[in-house]
A and B are shown apart, each in its own frame.
Chain A
Amino acid sequence: MEGLLAQAKKVAAEAEVFVVSIEETSVEFEANRLKHIQSKETTTVALRLIRQGRIGYAVSTRLEDRHKLVKIAAETAQFGMLARFHFPHRTTYPQVEVFDPGVESIAIAEMIRLGEGLIASVTRHTPDIVCEAGVTKAVTSVRILNSEGGQATYRQSTFGLGIRGNLIYDTDMLFVGDIEISGHPLPESGVVAGRVIQQLELAKNQASLTTRKLLVIFTPRGVASTLISPLMAAFNGKIVQEGASPIGSKLGQQVFSKKLNLADDPKLAYRPQSRPFDDEGVPSQHTPLIQGGAVMGFLYDLQTAALANTQSTASGSRSGGGLPAPAPSAFVIAQGDTTFDEMVQDIKEGLVIEALMGAEQGNILSGVFSGNVLLGYKVESGKIVGRVKDTMVSGDIYRLLNEIIAVGSDARWVGGHLKTPSLYCPGLSVASKK
């Protein structure tokens, strides 16, 4: 890394080398049986430089490609954006616990046992179900070195356990599933199995909806599949900077229900999105985004922050191997005090959404969505009576989140990016096939 940086400094005023290496092992089950064991090693080397005031960039899989990286980065700098920032100096980083050596040492046999246990629990409940499951462990190493003296490194462990089940009767198909991800090894599969079994229980009967405007409860998975993509876009500093975020001009204003609180938090211990610094070497911070329904801030990387005359929120992310861009680490919606059962009991006729398909396909910036209920249940007189099918719902996330009736006391992680409780909202439009 030092060699590459030294060479880059010869052609550029400032330079930065970013290296990420991932070692991943996964055990995968198909049709209820063990099918694949996979090991993947990936290295990405990115050189970013500022040459004659402009940003140049090159990526490779090999540190040895020194000459090529410098040549390409210098070439692209002829056309690159004007740099409005300097690479960060050496600094101190917050203590964020993200590495558990226990993940690295967990044996493949143990991962197989976990996956088999998970499938056994689900098939014991519903013998006809066909499941795909995966158990994955990974260790990621991140290193940053820049010409301004900045240098930083961390290792991170992640362990994931997921299952997707498919149950078919004639041409009727039911899809259930869940996932759990942690920075620690997961000792058992009971939590994930329990959630899937609950989905199977609730979906046992079928029910049809009659009303066109309904009260709706989004479970944590429902929140993830319906409401989060538009919010992630709306709080992205780059989209705000471009004037394309519907809340971009509403800093400090009450836009959402007073019951809603949202923050971006990369400092939670042993979470897969946590880290001591972002992909530009800026120390991680907790960033409040919504407090009591008011817009509190947006997410920025160095360049976007400079353009917007503000500070980076340590949200520079290089997913996909490109230049850093603002992205959330983990969205955390604060939990409320209403239990899921209390929400259900409150509803005369309504809908519980566990998974919505297609909501992210539309115009996510506007907040208006339509989707097909992949897994959802009808509520009738305070009870879940069965699964709904052939049902399309549409709504506006800004209206839904402004009119929240209750926030659940059941906050949990959905994958790595989101921790959320159930949300109970009015006014979802429903179109069902007769």
Chain B
Amino acid sequence: MPTKEIAQELAETLKGFDADYIEAHLEETETSHLTYRGKELESIGRSSSVGGNIRALVKGGWGFVSFNHLDELRGKVELAVREARLAGNEKSRLAEVEPVVDIVPGGADKNPASIPLAEKKKLLDEYNEIVWRTPKLQTSIITYGDGHKKTIFLNSEGSYIEQERADITLRLHAIATEGSDVQQAGLSIGSRGDFEVISGLHQQIQEKVEHAVALLKAPQVKGGEYTVVLDPVLAGVFVHEAFGHLSESDFIYENDRLYQIMTLGREFGLRELNIIDNPTLSGLRGSYKYDDEGVSATKTYLIWEGKLVGRLHSRETAAKMKEEPTGNARAVNYHYPPIVRMTNTYIESGRASFDDMIGDIKEGIYAKNWYGGTTSMEMFTFSAAEAYMIRRGRIAEAIRPVVLTGNVFTTLKNIDAIANDLDMNQGGGCGKGEQVPLPVSNGSPHIRIRRCLVGGK
């Protein structure tokens, strides 16, 4: 039976249970991937997946059942309700939202599954050719992945929402070696199903590959505190890791002490600092019309003029904190319940120019691009994929990639300049608990941080 008909039948089923709230997600996914390792196409494949889940709330406790087989769904609803009843022993609280019936056309997203594998392979062949023209390059890994997903959401309050999304990512790791020294450089680009975005990268790939080789000769920086200028990509990772995760209310709503730290109105940075999470921007990887609880997406100011003004919510965290729901409950796929997540998170443009910013730095570091980042709420680390010394106001020699770390609260306060060149990075995937990678985007203009701790010799 087509998923749509199953969903309509299920809508009736959900009504007859003794639970405070029940919702269901049904999902059909098509993906394809190509991986080059070295000269050869190592792996090429396609997959299709059908599945769903039922989530029930009884007296504040949640039951959750996920499955690949869409038969006997009544039994699965029963199980979820039974589990919720076992877990619950207080009052259920969910922020009120109007039930929504909507079929969101997938129009903005092209389905990358319809592009022939041969065409995808041809593009990667061209990229791989660039890699192998470069001397001293030991090997490379190029990974292309795309997916197209149709979801149906329904709940016991009468919501019924169909949405579609497409996603493309391209990642390149170039590995250069000399003796037992191994250096890497890379690139990570994503789009909302638009193949064009990853098509014209020849020049960029050439540069990354050459950079990997150049790193063999580059020195490692001496560890310590530096004035650091971050490019928009790395600053975007910084805002996501260092601040964004702290704005996720599921960390805060039952942790009184964290709540006190994250009191609205608290000053986090200079007056020019504005931080926003916005799933309503069109065509970005973190964009959507409704979240996975059927709540309309909204633009949320997290920091306005340096002060904390908002945070990200699910229906439950919004109700418990007596704030408005923001539509940030997302699940990476049907195996998991929705949790509070970011979407497109960015620092707004300021007024400084990049040249002004580095002009008065005697010795500092210009850190670009990213390998990754992680946070423990208070402390963060993030890795630049490329780094250069700044000497007497100018970009100087390349150094080996650096890891930057610090305390979120002091580091945000140490941002003393924000440039006017906001750029969004679409290459990221966010992880929280087991739910990884969730499509998000991050962005920022160039920012300057005083006294940032850098790992090194």
Task: Determine if B177 and A244 form an interchain contact, defined as CB atoms under 8 angstroms apart.
Answer: yes
B384 to nearest A CB, angstroms? Answer: 10
Report the number of A-B residue pairs with Cβ-Cβ less than 8 Å.
Answer: 241
Contacts of B429 in A (CB 8 A): none
Task: Determine if A361 and B87 form an interchain contact, defined as CB atoms under 8 angstroms apart.
Answer: no
* Residue B195 lies at the interface, judged by CB distance under 8 Å to chain A: no
A377-398 vs B: 1/0 string, CB under 8 Å?
Answer: 0000000000000101110001
Contacts of A434 in B (CB 8 A): 225
A305 to nearest B CB, angstroms? Answer: 15
* Residue B372 lies at the interface, judged by CB distance under 8 Å to chain A: yes
**Complex partner residue of A372 from B118, B139, B381, CB under 8 angstroms:** B381
Contacts of A372 in B (CB 8 A): 379-381, 405
Interface centre among A172, A322, A368, A371 (most CB of B within 10 A): A368
A41 to B401, CA, bound (A): 42
Contacts beyond the supplied A358-B372, A393-B455: 17 A-B pairs with Cβ under 8 Å: A31-B254, A38-B65, A38-B66, A40-B335, A57-B46, A61-B51, A168-B258, A168-B261, A171-B261, A242-B139, A323-B42, A323-B45, A357-B379, A357-B405, A429-B456, A429-B457, A431-B453
Residue of A nearest to B60 (CB): A35
* Residue B203 lies at the interface, judged by CB distance under 8 Å to chain A: no
With A31-B255, A42-B335, A365-B175 known as contacts, the answer to whether A392 contacts B403 (CB < 8 A) is: yes
A35 to B138, CA, bound (A): 50
A321 to B456, CA, bound (A): 37
* Residue A37 lies at the interface, judged by CB distance under 8 Å to chain B: yes
A33 to B320, CA, bound (A): 15
Task: Determine if B42 and A60 form an interchain contact, defined as CB atoms under 8 angstroms apart.
Answer: no
* Residue B127 lies at the interface, judged by CB distance under 8 Å to chain A: no
B57 to nearest A CB, angstroms? Answer: 10
Task: Determine if B254 and A365 form an interchain contact, defined as CB atoms under 8 angstroms apart.
Answer: no
Task: Determine if B255 and A79 form an interchain contact, defined as CB atoms under 8 angstroms apart.
Answer: no
A11 to B457, CA, bound (A): 57
Contacts of A357 in B (CB 8 A): 374, 376, 379, 381, 405
A27-52 vs B: 1/0 string, CB under 8 Å?
Answer: 10011011111111111000000000
A39 to B261, CA, bound (A): 35
With A79-B121, A374-B376 known as contacts, the answer to whether A58 contacts B43 (CB < 8 A) is: no
* Residue B397 lies at the interface, judged by CB distance under 8 Å to chain A: no
Contacts of B379 in A (CB 8 A): 173, 357, 372, 374, 390
Within 8 A of A (CB), among B376-394: 376-383
B222-236 vs A: 1/0 string, CB under 8 Å?
Answer: 011100000000000
With A81-B42, A433-B225 known as contacts, the answer to whether A244 contacts B182 (CB < 8 A) is: yes
Task: Determine if B374 and A243 form an interchain contact, defined as CB atoms under 8 angstroms apart.
Answer: no
Contacts of B97 in A (CB 8 A): none
With A238-B37, A357-B381, A358-B383 known as contacts, the answer to whether A41 contacts B44 (CB < 8 A) is: no
B95 to nearest A CB, angstroms? Answer: 18
* Residue A126 lies at the interface, judged by CB distance under 8 Å to chain B: no
- Which stretch in A68-76, A95-103, A284-292 binds the other chain? A68-76
Task: Determine if A246 and B182 form an interchain contact, defined as CB atoms under 8 angstroms apart.
Answer: yes
* Residue A112 lies at the interface, judged by CB distance under 8 Å to chain B: yes
Residue of A nearest to B56 (CB): A37
Residue of B nearest to A60 (CB): B48
Which 10 pairs show the lowest CB-CB distances between chains A and B? A370-B455, A358-B381, A31-B254, A59-B47, A37-B83, A168-B257, A431-B223, A370-B403, A57-B45, A173-B378
A360 to B431, CA, bound (A): 14
Q: How many chain B residues have a CB neighbour from A under 8 Å?
A: 81
B85 to nearest A CB, angstroms? Answer: 9
With A39-B65, A168-B255, A394-B455 known as contacts, the answer to whether A361 contacts B381 (CB < 8 A) is: yes
Contacts of B257 in A (CB 8 A): 128, 130, 168-169
**Complex partner residue of B405 from A31, A75, A392, CB under 8 angstroms:** A392
Contacts of A370 in B (CB 8 A): 223, 381, 402-403, 405, 455-456
Interface centre among B35, B64, B405 (most CB of A within 10 A): B405
Interface residues of A (CB under 8 A from B): 27, 30-31, 33-43, 57-62, 65, 68, 72, 75-76, 78-82, 108-109, 112, 128, 130, 166, 168-173, 175, 238, 242-244, 246-247, 321-323, 357-358, 360-363, 365-366, 368, 370-372, 374, 390, 392-394, 398, 429, 431, 433-434
Task: Determine if B383 and A362 form an interchain contact, defined as CB atoms under 8 angstroms apart.
Answer: yes
With A37-B84, A79-B118, A242-B38 known as contacts, the answer to whether A130 contacts B68 (CB < 8 A) is: no
Task: Determine if B453 and A390 form an interchain contact, defined as CB atoms under 8 angstroms apart.
Answer: yes
* Residue B181 lies at the interface, judged by CB distance under 8 Å to chain A: yes
**Complex partner residue of B401 from A37, A171, A362, CB under 8 angstroms:** A362
Task: Determine if A35 and B62 form an interchain contact, defined as CB atoms under 8 angstroms apart.
Answer: yes
**Complex partner residue of A371 from B66, B68, B455, CB under 8 angstroms:** B455
* Residue B244 lies at the interface, judged by CB distance under 8 Å to chain A: no
Task: Determine if A79 and B42 form an interchain contact, defined as CB atoms under 8 angstroms apart.
Answer: no
* Residue B117 lies at the interface, judged by CB distance under 8 Å to chain A: yes
A29 to B48, CA, bound (A): 33
Task: Determine if B61 and A36 form an interchain contact, defined as CB atoms under 8 angstroms apart.
Answer: yes
Residue of A nearest to B316 (CB): A35
With A108-B83, A371-B403 known as contacts, the answer to whether A65 contacts B62 (CB < 8 A) is: no
Contacts of B132 in A (CB 8 A): none
Contacts of A358 in B (CB 8 A): 372-374, 381-383, 403, 405
With A57-B44, A357-B376, A361-B403 known as contacts, the answer to whether A38 contacts B64 (CB < 8 A) is: yes
Contacts of A33 in B (CB 8 A): 254
Contacts of A323 in B (CB 8 A): 42-43, 45
Contacts of A429 in B (CB 8 A): 223, 456-457
A40 to B43, CA, bound (A): 29
Task: Determine if A108 and B86 form an interchain contact, defined as CB atoms under 8 angstroms apart.
Answer: yes
With A37-B84, A363-B184 known as contacts, the answer to whether A392 contacts B61 (CB < 8 A) is: no
Task: Determine if B453 and A392 form an interchain contact, defined as CB atoms under 8 angstroms apart.
Answer: yes
A428 to nearest B CB, angstroms? Answer: 11
A65 to B48, CA, bound (A): 9
Q: List 11 A-B contacts (CB under 8 A).
A: A40-B67, A43-B68, A57-B46, A58-B45, A82-B40, A242-B38, A243-B139, A357-B405, A366-B182, A374-B376, A392-B453
A429 to B62, CA, bound (A): 46
Within 8 A of A (CB), among B199-250: 220, 223-225
A409 to B337, CA, bound (A): 42
Task: Determine if A76 and B45 form an interchain contact, defined as CB atoms under 8 angstroms apart.
Answer: yes
Interface centre among A112, A173, A238, A361 (most CB of B within 10 A): A361
Task: Determine if A76 and B117 form an interchain contact, defined as CB atoms under 8 angstroms apart.
Answer: yes
B17-47 vs A: 1/0 string, CB under 8 Å?
Answer: 0000000000000000111011011111111
Contacts of A172 in B (CB 8 A): 378
Task: Determine if A112 and B86 form an interchain contact, defined as CB atoms under 8 angstroms apart.
Answer: yes
Task: Determine if A37 and B62 form an interchain contact, defined as CB atoms under 8 angstroms apart.
Answer: yes
Contacts of A398 in B (CB 8 A): 180
Contacts of B38 in A (CB 8 A): 242
Task: Determine if A39 and B66 form an interchain contact, defined as CB atoms under 8 angstroms apart.
Answer: yes
Task: Determine if A37 and B139 form an interchain contact, defined as CB atoms under 8 angstroms apart.
Answer: no
Task: Determine if A79 and B66 form an interchain contact, defined as CB atoms under 8 angstroms apart.
Answer: no
A431 to B177, CA, bound (A): 28
A398 to B34, CA, bound (A): 33
A53 to nearest B CB, angstroms? Answer: 13
With A172-B378, A244-B177, A392-B455 known as contacts, the answer to whether A58 contacts B46 (CB < 8 A) is: yes
